[in-house]
Amino acid sequence: MTHDLRLRAAEPGDIQAVRAIERASARRFLDTDRAWLADDEPTDAETLAERVAENGLLVACEGEVPVAFVMFRQVEGCGYVEQVDVLPSHERRGIGARLIAAVADLARARGWPALTLSTFKDVPFNAPYYRRLGFEDVEVLTPGMAEIRAEHEARGLDESTRVFMRREV
């Protein structure tokens, strides 16, 4: 566990660092059958700026340098976790779990009853990881989840390899 890490709301000046973290973190997929994700473009700066403006982006900083982030937004009255990424040099220190816990705290404060997300079913650092954090598979998609699934399919993701998950806060 990294104790000298500070979590804070992202600022506009963090956007390029967040994109770099996402790009570096995607390299984890090189050893999976989804290696093409390592070459996928990170979230565009405009979307990140929107999340900063609506307080939907948290960064974990070592000193003043972001080393991880979580991006989320409200979907159907719940906190939908869009992305969690940690620099490879900082993986396996509990940073992702701390970021998810921080989003859960924000969800409670905002009156959101749960966190939801969509992730790969069989990649060890995806669905199995989130299950360890208390998320459960969603069997029947809500309309908002179906819309997210359609967005993913439009981007070329194979949704048969993915699962939606939910955790009460």
Q: Where in the chain are the domains?
A: 5-168
What is d(CA 59, CA 99) in angstroms, rounded to the nearest whole number? 8
Model pLDDT, residue 42: 86
* pLDDT tier for residue 4 given thresholds of 50, 70 and 90: confident
Model pLDDT, residue 29: 66
Model pLDDT, residue 1: 47
- Residue 2, pLDDT > 50, answer no
- Burial class for 139, CB neighbours closer than 10 Å (0-12, 13-18, 19+): exposed
Strands 78-86 and 114-120, by their bridges, are: parallel
Work out the percent of the chain whose per-residue pLDDT is above 90.
75
Model pLDDT, residue 37: 62
* pLDDT tier for residue 58 given thresholds of 50, 70 and 90: very high
pTM of the model: 0.90
* Domain 5-168, CATH: 3.40.630.30
Which of 25-39, 117-131, 152-166 has the lowest average pLDDT? 25-39
* pLDDT tier for residue 122 given thresholds of 50, 70 and 90: confident
